[in-house]
Amino acid sequence: MFRIRLTFIITLFIICQNILAQDQFYINNNSDKYVLSFKMVNNLMVIPVEVNGKKLSFLLDTGVSNTVILNIQVVDSLKLKNIEKIKIQGLGVGEFVDAIKSTNNNIIVGKNITNKNHKIYLILEGGINLSNRIGEEIHGIIGGDLFKDFIIKINYSTKQITFYKPNTYHYKSCKKCELLPLSFIAEKPYVNVVANFSDTISVNSKLLLDTGGSDALWLFENKEAKISVPQLFFDDYLGQGLNGNIYGKRSRIKSLQIGKFELKNITASFPDTLSLSQSMRHFSRRGTIGSETLKRFYLIIDYPNKKITFKKNSKFFDEEFNYNMSGIEVAYNGQMLVSEKVIKDFQTSSGNKVSNAERGITIDYEYGYVLSLKPSIQVTDIRKNSPAELAGVQEGDYLLEVNGKPIYSYSIQDLMSLFYEKEGREIELIVDRNGYRFSFNFKLKKIL
């Protein structure tokens, strides 16, 4: 089944260099490994994390080195310790944002991985609401702090992560695998790959390994490195950072070579230079490999020994690299009052109430209506000259119906899957715009 590709990139530049001793995760009960199931949402891994006794949901993200809480609504119940106010900045157009650093926190990942002295960052303002964008409750992000203490296998097919103790793990011989070195800059993992732009232009590139970015590939324009946007592209919304939206150009390149594996006709996004100014200043990287690419492999990510193993995942490897053909980005925003028709009671033709329909007896149904609150889904961004914009859809519109079904019968994932589905698919929208209803029709159109 096709899955949606939303992009969320959070790269923190922490204005603080304190390193705490014994901030370490370990497997309880002297076990050598621990298997954790994850929920796969928009190519992203969502895992259960308990913070000081409070059960939360976090993204597992190699693109961040620290643990970050984004949802300030849960702050009062977290009992954060040793609080210090700081400033941070991430990808996206905007200034530094206020945050809090807290130490000596008790963390439990799943049921059997513990850290009793963990450092956490809390975004106070200007952060991003991943829950509204993804449609799944997300309280924070955990990454390098967890990866550094284990050898970690990721299986996107079974939706399982296996944590191994580094000193007891033994690599098996694998002819179908590709073992590549990892390098680290600012505690983040990088892998060397080859981006083939055409038959004559190939670029060796050091790319950030980013399980928290759901796009396939980001490349940073660089004339000296011969990284430039192909002739066929369109301007697009790429995602959201800590302090603003990220825009850029979306295109395709001939292929991406990861060791002996070649991913053909891969979508590639080129973020604008304004969004990348801080990132380029701090990190000497050429781009990012996201989960739309990584899910096509079984992965063994080995921070302690600085290496990564790729093995083809036949379930996803040959999937086409797709994108949002509608031009619409949506998010939950508020609630709407809806009236739903329900069966209150039913009777036989003789007037006797029955619990089940009986053969040969006419059943008269008595209907009623129930008022309830449902999440509202709003158009948050719309691509210029896209099918939706040309049909008349505008940013700020609230969706009421999609293809004849009420909007509350869809999840965010359902909608985005529909918009990625196939060229020529007809989409009919009924929207609310400032209290007025409008109807729009358009067909999905493939540009790349």
The CATH T-level fold of domain 328-338+374-443 is Pdz3 Domain (2.30.42)
Distances (CA, A) of 135 to 128, 139, 334: 13, 12, 13
Residues 359-387: what's their mean pLDDT?
A: 80
Q: Which CATH class is domain 177-312?
A: mainly beta
Between 85-94, 184-193, 207-216, 370-379, the lowest mean confidence (pLDDT) is in: 85-94
Rg (CA), the chain: 24
Same fold: 26-164 with 177-312: yes
- SS percent in the chain: helix, strand, coil, step 5: 10, 50, 40
Confirm if 347 and 363 have CB atoms less than 8 A apart: yes
**In this structure, what are the phi and psi dihedrals at residue 313, rounded to the nearest 5 degrees?**
-100, 105
Q: Where are the domains of the chain?
A: 26-164, 177-312, 328-338+374-443
- Cα 171 to Cα 145, 174, 299, 307, 308: the distances in Å are 23, 9, 13, 12, 11
Q: Is 382 helix (H, G, I), strand (E, B) or coil?
A: strand
Across 110-200, the runs of DSSP E, i.e. the strands, are 113-123, 140-142, 151-155, 160-164, 177-181, 183-185, 188-196
Q: Name the phi and psi angles at 134, rounded to 5.
A: -85, -30
Judge contact between 260 and 177, C-beta under 8 A.
no
Both tokens of 59, joined, read 């993204």
Q: Assign 371 a pLDDT band (cuts: 50, 70, 90).
A: confident
Taking the model in full, what pTM does it have? Answer: 0.86
Segment 20-60, tens digit of pLDDT: 457 899 999 889 999 999 999 989 999 999 999 999 999 99
Q: Which of 3-7, 77-81, 442-446 is the most confident on average?
A: 442-446
Architecture of domain 26-164: Beta Barrel (2.40)
Confidence label for 98 from pLDDT (cuts 50, 70 and 90): confident
Place of tokens 């690599």: 171
Any residues with CB less than 8 A from the CB of 48 and at least 6 apart, and which? 55, 56, 57, 58, 109, 110
pLDDT 10s digits, 164-209: 999 999 999 999 999 999 999 989 999 999 999 999 999 999 999 9
Q: Exposed, middle or buried, 41 (CB in 10 Å: 0-12/13-18/19+)?
A: buried
pLDDT at residue number 94: 54
Reported as a pLDDT band with limits 50, 70 and 90, residue 83 is confident
Alpha helices, DSSP H, located in 218-282:
273-282
d(CA 431, CA 445): 21
Position 308 pLDDT exceeds 60 = yes
Which of these, 36, 131, 58, lies nearest to 413 by C-alpha position? 131
Q: Residue 305 has which token pair?
A: 């020994």
Q: Is 217 left (phi over 0), alpha (psi -120 to 50) or beta?
A: beta
* Percent of the chain at pLDDT exceeding 90: 63
Mean local confidence (pLDDT), 224-252: 88
Would you tell me how many other CB atoms lie within 10 Å of the CB of residue 414?
13
**271 forms bridges with which residues in the sheet?**
248
